[in-house]
Structure 1
């Protein structure tokens, strides 16, 4: 417990010094493959907003913009470097792994048709939000659509974390409880959304 409190105090000190730029920077790292959970970034910053050092709106905006920046970094790395490497690998060695160019282009076609819902839902799910921009880059998803649905998903996630930190940041037990309940609620929301999406597509 003392170790956790020490880390939390260091994060709070960091945000007191760096402000919104610090939130932006850490959330940008969180949206790449750097293992920094957003649960230890946004809530402490929102708690400072509760104390009056920052504004809640500023914390949310800097968090969302940071998430978008990190996601775009992954997207362009996958698009400019990862895609040519993957295509070359499949052409040369795919037969040894039972992977064909046709299968790769099927995945690409899937992303053309369902990339928007995949990107949006991926931003809300633990474990997926860090990597969802990589397949989008591989599949050359439309940049504007990618940015829109990334921002939408990141906005919902950052708002949730910020409200938790703002209202429950001074009580660690309550904060953990509502972060857990809220994360579980978002997973249920994603499952329901996907079910409706599939039903709509089948009916269409």
Structure 2
């Protein structure tokens, strides 16, 4: 079940129906900025329906453009978190996480601490892998900002991670467009949400294994005869 459905801030079904009827590139970008910042808003409610609509015969959108624009929005939202953490520092970040407003936004000290520990354990690459993992995705930019991670590396890893995740979501929208009507779309997105999570974890594990392989594989000998 999508996280947002448990919120009392607004009705996810109403938002989903509204988005399906009004989706355009600007809304994809804006809501992905929100999704990637500290405001809880699952990308599953944005990219799959936008990709689904892009595959309709009368659509003015393109599925590749949806993926790229969603990735651009995710990067902007991540930069918001990065710079907020960079400017305000750890004490204020944790004070906000423990505040009533932080709790209303489904942020607490445990989640921020989890994201920070994940960053500490995996280093800069965590900004890539973290984009594929639920409960870490939205907050991984905060420890990157707290650690003053090099901005260029942050942008590259964040963009790649967001692109992979949004491509997965867009593929789901494409897949659903082949056999699902609009009335069934939200139900099917919820149904396949767990598979999306598993796909994200799987890609993350593959990336880690690839990095470890390259780090520890024997280096070719430079000896000449």
TM-score normalised per structure 1: 0.75
Cα distance in 1 for partners of 2:156, 2:194 equals: 27
Q: Which residue of 1 aligns with 2:140?
A: 132
Sort the Cα spacing of 1:137 and 1:50 in 2 relative to 1 into closer, same or farther, 3 A: same
Q: CA deviation at 1:196?
A: 5.0
Q: Secondary structure at the match of 2:38?
A: coil
Q: Is 1:22 aligned with 2:27?
A: yes
Cα distance in 1 for partners of 2:87, 2:14 equals: 41
Q: Which residue of 1 aligns with 2:103?
A: none
Q: Is 1:188 aligned with 2:202?
A: yes
Sort the Cα spacing of 1:203 and 1:168 in 2 relative to 1 into closer, same or farther, 3 A: same
Q: Which residue of 2 aligns with 1:94?
A: none
TM-score normalised per structure 2: 0.68
Cα distance in 2 for partners of 1:191, 1:84 equals: 32
Q: Secondary structure at the match of 1:191?
A: helix
Q: Which has the higher helix share?
A: 1
Q: CA deviation at 1:148?
A: 0.2
Q: Which residue of 2 aligns with 1:61?
A: 68
Q: Is 1:118 aligned with 2:126?
A: yes
Q: Which residue of 1 aligns with 2:99?
A: none
Q: Is 1:43 aligned with 2:57?
A: no
Q: RMSD between aligned alpha carbons?
A: 2.8
Q: Which residue of 1 aligns with 2:39?
A: 34
Q: Which residue of 2 aligns with 1:142?
A: 150
Q: Which residue of 2 aligns with 1:159?
A: 167
Q: CA deviation at 1:33?
A: 1.2
For the 8 Å contact 2:44–2:189, the answer to whether it is kept is no
Q: CA deviation at 1:197?
A: 3.9
Any stretches of 5+ residues in structure 2 without a counterpart? 1-10, 94-115, 219-225
Any stretches of 5+ residues in structure 1 without a counterpart? 87-106
| Count of residue pairs the alignment pairs up | 177
